[in-house]
Structure 1
């Protein structure tokens, strides 16, 4: 299929948002270094029928896809909040409730269309945050892995009497369908104590149907024999099989958001992830990967799929037919 490269019609500029919180976003890498200093990122995406902009500082990528002719803009915030419960002996001590209160009042959570939250395990902190965001985002899923009530379907291997999976999706627009899927591969290490998986929602804004999968896959864990790599592969395969089973029209966009927990510097696993999900690698720009919280750019948060097609790469173009994607990562 031939594609035409379209110029960007709009560019969105971001103001630096200063928040006195110890928050992090680890879309593709949740390895914690000795200092336990967490990188802070904001993911913001703008869609239209002629361009699709992923704006995060220092990353650039372009790809194109087919959309209906009617104009549609979509802003998505995806955030790994690291809100562990106090019962978690490893991570449950980061002032979860205080951070949730401040986060719910922060400017960057405003004026989005969809918010995908991951690692919102703590009940009190999660309820505080969701209550503060409810007025602007009235359509909300429950956290995955907590209960089967309120979901259109529960798939995978739901386990009773275990910690929830920490993923929630909020929408300004009507959620037409919501499914929770608990991974059949429950992972290894600390992750085995959680009902990890993904939330799937189908939303409608204007005339456009958009499918979103919000997930948090197996974290890198030193107690796993392979640091969790095999579990992640199996979980990514489960995501792909689910998307295929939905038989989504190739005129509709599918987005995978959240914490994919794949280290881009591990090229074998990284490329394997792209192959499993049947997407091509974006064109990255900027400095190489780093743990410097001011410079980190080697993380990927969202993958877009046009069902029924495999994206074709041309030179440095990460291309689907007829839509341009730009990726940049930046601090909040």
Structure 2
């Protein structure tokens, strides 16, 4: 592990600025409560092994024990086919319902890397690709937006997962992609009394207020209050992240045009291996991805439903 990053991490842990556990805890009744949904969005940094060696096999074996207890997980960058298949097989006992991968491999071009796994039945799924709305090396990935309709004990949830254009200077392309996502959501004609949740790596830094507010306006979404780590991509403490840049790029939103939660939160989690693992020819590592995941907890109460229908003014 990089000594400076390791030392900084220990200092921050000592001051309580990093926490290895949930600040927001799922209750023991969440698993049997249809009106509550626990979602994890995780860019897992599983690039194709024929081009990159980032310890994908080791990390994919360590991940399953760290991502238990959710209703739904939205993965991004699950690019490598063999690594992804091994990971999905390891998750099947807890997340038996698994969507198709976004996009497809074509020659040297990769699929979109987004996949949704669920504890509850996926009753419908679909996807829309960004196609030529991309820039630079991102055009080598078949990116877009993935949809899954999930039935948690007769409560329907509509999940959309995406991984938007990378690059600080690619705002125009990203916003074109966000319009594609919004159009896709609208095309589903989801009833206003049902929840719509959109998660993923949006590659928009929350601290770039202009780009952040524009993204939310285009998608017509709300980000719940955020807790946990301050950044989802943090080069100062993450030993898989190159450089020292810090940014907040990953979100789980809810739609403003559909059933809104009575209570919701996003929490950036510090998920790491219990012990250091080693990439071939490099130093020891403990992080499991170059991003930290976002956990979203959403409660949809009965009173909120009444408000939707105007029964309570």
The question of 1:302 aligning with 2:233 is answered no
The 1-side partners of 2:93 and 2:230 are apart by 40
Are the equivalent residues in 1 in contact too, given 2:225–2:265 (CA < 8 A)? no
Q: Which 5+ residue runs of structure 2 have no aligned equivalent?
A: 2-17, 239-245, 272-313
8 Å CA contact 2:97, 2:117 repeated in 1: yes
Is the contact made by 1:237 and 1:276 (CA closer than 8 Å) also made in structure 2?
yes
Q: Which has the higher strand share?
A: 2
In structure 2, do the counterparts of structure 1 residues 45 and 82 end up closer, same or farther at CA, with 3 Å as the change threshold? farther
Conservation of the 8 A alpha-carbon contact between 1:139 and 1:172 = yes
* Structure 1 SS opposite 2:179: helix
The equivalent of 2:118 in structure 1 is 171
2:176 equivalent to 1:234: yes
Mapped contact 1:250–1:306 kept (Cα < 8 A): no
Shifted more, 121-130 versus 281-290: the winner is: 281-290
Work out whether 1:188 is the aligned partner of 2:135.
Answer: yes
Q: In 2, are the aligned partners of 1:72 and 1:206 still within 8 Å (CA)? A: no
Q: Distance in 1 between matches of 2:159 and 2:22?
A: 15
- Deviations for 1:117-164, whole angstroms, at most 9, x for unmatched residues? 1001011111110010112211111211127xxxxxxxxxxx787310
- Segments of structure 1 that go 5 or more residues without pairing to the other structure are 1-19, 21-38, 53-69, 148-158, 222-226, 310-319
TM value normalised by structure 1: 0.64
Q: Find the counterpart in structure 2 of residue 109 from structure 1.
A: 67
1:106-126 residue CA offsets vs partner (Å, 9 max, x unmatched):
1x3222211111001011111
1:75 aligns to what?
Answer: 38
Query: Could you say what secondary structure the match of 1:136 adopts?
Result: coil
User: Which residue in the other structure is 2:81 paired with?
Assistant: 123
Separation in 1 of the partners of 2:145 and 2:20?
21
Report what 1:96 is aligned to.
Answer: 56
- SS of the counterpart of 1:198? strand
Relative to structure 1, the CA distance from residue 98 to residue 131 in structure 2 (aligned partners, 3 Å threshold; closer, same or farther) is same
Matched residue pairs, number?
A: 242
CA–CA separation in structure 2 for the residues paired with 1:239 and 1:84: 24
The 3 A distance-change label for structure 1 pair 109 and 330 is closer
